Amino acid sequence: MAGTDTASSLERKLATILSADVAGYSRLMAEDEEQTLRTFRGHSEVFEKLVALHRGRVFNTAGDAILAEFSSAVEAVRSATEIQAALRTRNDQLPENRQVKFRIGVNLGDVMVQGQDLLGDGVNVAARLQTAAEPGGICISGSVFDQIRNKLSLSFKPLGEVNFKNVPQAVRVFSIAEAEGLGLLPSPESKGSGARAGLAKWLTAAAALVVIVGGAGFWAYSEHQHNKAELAREAQFAAGTLATGEARRGAVDERQTSVSARSPAAFEPPRPPLAAPNTAEAGNDGLFGGQICYGPSQVDPARCYRAQAIVQQGKVSGQWPGRDPGVTMYLAGDISPSGDVIIHMHGERSDGSRLGIADLVGTLRDGRLDAAGSFMNGRSVTLNWRRN
């Protein structure tokens, strides 16, 4: 009876759990313990700061493992992608064989509260999902996928229903294949592998076909819903609710900036366009507008859309609504007396977090502003505007 009373007094809640560990940690420690620990501690500090930034909390650490809790699945996945972006930047400064790469799993499920710790299947599934991820990659459960689709600019690879060790029911698993501002992420090549702990046996050819068809259905539904939202935003924009010009469908495919680039001092905040100055007195000053074009990526075709910015006293600045709800694109640049232009462009969410950056160089001459550059993942961007 006492055991029953104890069980009934346990607090339970629904939470999104992020589980992470270091791939190849034993090898790294065996080769150089001190350097591995220094790198891991530096990575962990970045990890915890990004968890806190997205209103999460780290509730357990053990060795190379980190467990964090979020009340929002969207914020948990945003945190996961930004963690991988920041750690990729840090790892790029290290030799390949000394890089400390996390695998991350994210699950939404019921958990039990025990002091500051969380227990139960919701946590166990997140830990198993992490074993399915590639080093530097992210796997999420179907419960998380259902919450975040159409809310984040991500591409997914469906891995089907996977039976994990000590988890009573099969789990729908998705790998994040590409993230806005981060580019391609490592994804498993197959839906099962005996070499990876916790994964099920290889699926049969017939089952694989079912998974592929099911995955295509999810993708088609996601694209349909996303396009509807885009059309609604474009219609509102064309009606004149924003003064920066008509926003057409465009892809923001920049790589996620590192944590250090989050400082407001990293760039001059752009000034929102107000009204065109007197161009007769200011030479090339005025309102410029035209096409911004993104080159093709592996998952997105080439795209162009219209935008505009104001040129005044050797500066160019502008802003316009991004592809996703709550995202604004900002542009700021400097113009030399000879007409050479350096432009910085980035996306920003309503909470102030940034999606990535692109840098362009070009010229401003005879009422034409032409510039070209690329996002940090290599996708090209060009700008060809005329003074209005």
d(C-alpha 233, C-alpha 238), whole Å:
9
Where residue 7 falls among pLDDT bands split at 50, 70, 90? low
3-state SS assignment for residue 286: strand
Nearest CA to 384 out of 313, 332, 308 is that of 308
Q: How confident is the model at residue 217 (pLDDT cuts 50, 70, 90)?
A: very low
Does residue 250 register a pLDDT over 80?
Answer: no
pLDDT tens digits, 317-375: 998 888 777 788 899 999 988 888 989 888 888 777 777 678 888 999 999 999 998 87
Equal fold, 10-203 vs 259-387: no
Over residues 248-268, mean pLDDT = 38
Tell me: the pLDDT tens digits for 124-154? 999 999 999 999 999 999 999 999 988 888 8
Domain locations in the chain as residue ranges: 10-203, 259-387
Q: Which CATH architecture has domain 259-387?
A: Beta Barrel (2.40)
Mean pLDDT score of the chain, rounded to an integer?
78
Q: Rounded mean pLDDT of 262-282? A: 40
Side chain identity, residue 66 = I
Task: Read off the pLDDT band of 263 (50, 70, 90).
Answer: very low
Model confidence band, residue 117 (pLDDT cutoffs 50, 70, 90): very high
- CA separation for the pair 360, 152 (Å, rounded): 26
Q: Per the CATH hierarchy, to which homologous superfamily does domain 10-203 belong?
A: Nucleotide cyclase, GGDEF domain (3.30.70.1230)
Cα–Cα nearest to 370, from 379, 383, 380: 383
- Return the structure tokens found at 253: 């495919």
Q: What are phi and psi of 181, to 5 degrees?
A: 85, -10
Q: Which residue has the higher pLDDT, 282 or 167?
A: 167
Distance of alpha carbon 244 from its chain centroid, rounded? 26
- Give yes or no for residue 232 having a pLDDT over 80: no
From CA 189, how far away is CA 157, in angstroms rounded? 10
String of b and e for 57-70 (b: at least 16 CB within 10 Å)?
ebbeeeebebbbbb
Cα separation, 178 vs 156, in Å, equals: 7
How would you classify the pairing of strands 327-335 and 340-349? antiparallel
Q: Give the pLDDT score at 220.
A: 43
φ, ψ at 34 (rounded to 5°): -65, -45
